């Protein structure tokens, strides 16, 4: 029997990698996409199957994490063996501007899915994965952070995810559901959202290199993160649902870099060494011609910042036999390579007199 998976957030970075991965494993994959005024399926268009043909194994449904009726309907129709709850308002800075919506989609959204499983009597059939986050550690209480490290969330996003974490644990304990949390540290890729810092950097530097943009404005250059590759991390999401007993796992590389380090690594890939002058709130990065190409803009500072995160993935290594395969350097190189290709296309269009999409924030 082919296994059936349902992915919320299938149009996002992780959802697109996970859908690809599960299809290759022979799953029938259902995904929930939300209604938008323009197409929002760029990341999964390569997996698209014509809805008019029969025997499809990749099927999309309209739904929303804020709408129980859609979630119950889809789960009832799909009867999934596994649900990966990846959908979220996932931007930490935006959560300060949209705290209530973030709580609704990220905290109550998880509850709605768990409750749908229970109401539909699927609690012994359907396994549930919750996309938990290293942001739960926030103001860190212990370094490196592991499964037993106390949480101290520092944003509306992290507080919402704290609820989702505990409601997952609670449904596991209260109803005997196979429900688990992957506490994933930052993971990136060429399809990372353009406003997260890594992609913002690789995209901007590639564009600066080709003369499409003059400079890049960033916030806290001293923030440190444990950055891995999304491709490595989605495999773990699947593995967590294949165990005998549901458990929560930290997924991380165990290596940490600062935002400034990331800029340097990306610049190096492009052959553009950066000279830094000043520090923290008033810092600038110059290229070899003396042009200021990176500058701090306090607009990007957060009301409460997570200064440092470093994960200890020992439990995942021991119990799941997992180690990340893609290094920091390869991750940066791949992201830069893909953004350079996109920028070359833009440069070509521009040179031929066509308008290009210049949006950045």
Give the residue numbers of the binding site for NADP(+): 128
Please report whether residue 145 would count as binding ligand GDR according to CB under 6 A. no
Between helices 68-78 and 109-119, what is the axis angle to 10°?
40
User: Which listed option, ligand NDP, ligand GDR, none, makes contact with residue 220 (CB within 5 to 8 Å by class)?
Assistant: ligand GDR
- Separation CA 171–CA 110 (nearest Å): 11
User: Which listed option, ligand GDR, ligand NDP, none, makes contact with residue 200 (CB within 5 to 8 Å by class)?
Assistant: ligand GDR
User: Which listed option, ligand NDP, ligand GDR, none, makes contact with residue 253 (CB within 5 to 8 Å by class)?
Assistant: none
Please report whether residue 81 would count as binding ligand GDR according to CB under 6 A. no
What is the H or E stretch that residue 32 is in?
A: strand 28-33
Minimum CB distance to ligand NDP smaller for 89 or for 202: 89
Q: Using the rule CB under 6 A, which residue among 225, 229, 231, 260 binds ligand GDR?
A: 225
DSSP one-letter code for 214: S
| Residue 145 beta carbon to ligand GDR: minimum distance, rounded to whole angstroms | 11
Minimum CB distance to ligand GDR smaller for 27 or for 249: 249
DSSP 143-196: SSB-TTSPP---SHHHHHHHHHHHHHHHHHHHH---EEEEEEPPEE-TTS-TTS
N-to-C CA span, the chain: 47
Residues binding ligand NDP (CB under 6 A): 8-9, 11-15, 32, 34, 36, 40, 64-66, 86-90, 105, 131, 133, 184, 186-187, 193
User: Which listed option, ligand NDP, ligand GDR, none, makes contact with residue 256 (CB within 5 to 8 Å by class)?
Assistant: none
Distances (CA, A) of 52 to 27, 30, 152: 20, 16, 49
Count of helix runs (H) and strand runs (E) in the chain: 11, 15
Which of the residues are catalytic?
133, 135, 157
| Residue 87 beta carbon to ligand NDP: minimum distance, rounded to whole angstroms | 4
Minimum CB distance to ligand NDP smaller for 186 or for 274: 186
Tokens standing for 80? 């999934």
Minimum CB distance to ligand NDP smaller for 36 or for 53: 36
């Amino acid at each position: 029997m082919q296994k059936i998976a349902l992915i919320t957030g299938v149009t996002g970075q992780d959802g697109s990698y996970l859908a690809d991965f599960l299809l290759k494993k022979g799953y029938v994959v259902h995904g929930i996409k939300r209604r938008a005024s323009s197409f929002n399926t760029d990341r999964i268009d390569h997996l698209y199957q014509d809805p008019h043909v029969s025997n499809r194994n990749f099927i999309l449904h309209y739904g929303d994490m804020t709408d129980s009726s859609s979630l119950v309907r889809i789960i009832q129709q799909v009867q999934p063996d596994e649900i990966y709850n990846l959908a979220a308002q996932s931007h930490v800075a935006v959560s300060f501007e949209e705290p209530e919506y973030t709580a609704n989609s990220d905290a109550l959204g998880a509850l709605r899915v768990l409750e749908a499983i229970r109401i539909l009597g699927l609690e012994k059939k359907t396994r549930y994965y919750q996309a938990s986050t290293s942001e739960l550690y926030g103001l860190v209480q212990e370094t490196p952070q592991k499964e037993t490290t106390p949480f101290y969330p520092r944003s509306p996003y992290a507080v919402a995810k704290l609820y989702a974490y505990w409601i997952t644990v609670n449904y596991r304990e209260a109803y005997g559901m196979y429900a688990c949390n992957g506490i994933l540290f930052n993971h990136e890729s060429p399809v990372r959202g353009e406003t997260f810092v890594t992609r913002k950097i690789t995209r901007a530097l590639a564009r600066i290199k080709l003369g499409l943009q003059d400079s890049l404005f960033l916030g806290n250059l001293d923030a440190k993160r444990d950055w891995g590759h999304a491709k490595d991390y989605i495999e773990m999401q699947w593995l967590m649902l294949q165990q005998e007993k549901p458990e929560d796992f930290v997924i991380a590389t165990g290596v940490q870099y600062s935002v400034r380090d990331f800029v340097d690594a990306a610049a190096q890939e492009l052959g553009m060494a950066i000279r830094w002058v000043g520090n923290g709130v008033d810092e600038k990065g110059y290229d070899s011609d003396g042009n200021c190409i990176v500058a701090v803009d306090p607009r990007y500072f957060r009301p409460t910042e997570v200064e440092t995160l470093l994960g200890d993935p020992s439990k995942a290594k021991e119990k799941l036999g997992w180690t990340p395969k893609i290094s920091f350097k390869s991750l940066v190189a791949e992201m830069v390579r893909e953004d350079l290709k996109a920028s070359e296309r833009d440069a070509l269009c521009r040179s031929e007199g066509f308008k290009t999409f210049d949006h950045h924030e």
